[in-house]
Structure formats: structure tokens, C-alpha cells
């Protein structure tokens, strides 16, 4: 879940409230430049090139699945 807040709000109360929601495991508060960075996505040109290289290798080795196959492997609970 991503929540975008006005800079003037008291984030401590919001974080505390979100922590009490059913199903929430962890809440991390990100500020500034960290807020725009999503872990696991390639940002630098080197990371993007490596991501493409890995994807091409997966295609060559046949490690490609359709959306239907993914849904059957990981059914909603």
C-alpha cells in the first residue's frame, strides 16, 4: 500500500493507525528521495541492462510463463 501525504501532517499518528489494520505486517516511513525508489526495480543504466540480460537469458532457457500459468501456480487465497 502506498500512501502519499501532505508534508504538513503528523505522520506518526498515521503510521500508528496503519500498523493496527488487519493484515499489515510492517510499516516503513519513507521520506524525500527514498520515497520514489521502489526496491527491486532497475534505476541506473547498469541495473536496466542487467535486468534485460537476465530476461533474455530466461527467454532463451524457456523460463517464460503466460499469465494463465502464473495464476494457476499462485492461486488467490
Eight-state DSSP code of residue 74: S
> Is the distance from CB of 65 to CB of 73 less than 8 angstroms?
yes
- Domain coordinates in residue numbering, the chain: 1-37, 39-77
How much is the pTM? Answer: 0.44
> Is the distance from CB of 27 to CB of 19 less than 8 angstroms?
yes
Residue for cell digits 540480460? Answer: 53
Give me the tens of pLDDT residue by residue for the chain, a chain 77 residues long: 666 666 667 777 777 787 777 777 777 776 665 556 677 788 889 989 999 999 999 999 999 999 999 999 988 86
Amino acid at each position: 500500500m502506498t500512501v502519499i501525504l501532505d508534508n504538513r501532517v503528523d505522520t506518526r499518528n498515521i503510521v500508528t493507525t496503519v500498523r493496527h489494520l488487519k493484515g499489515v505486517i510492517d510499516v516503513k516511513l519513507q521520506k524525500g528521495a527514498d520515497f520514489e525508489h521502489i526496491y527491486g526495480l532497475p534505476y541506473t543504466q547498469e541495473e536496466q541492462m542487467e535486468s534485460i540480460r537476465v530476461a533474455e537469458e530466461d527467454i532463451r532457457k524457456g523460463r517464460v510463463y503466460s499469465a494463465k500459468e502464473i495464476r494457476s501456480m499462485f492461486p488467490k487465497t
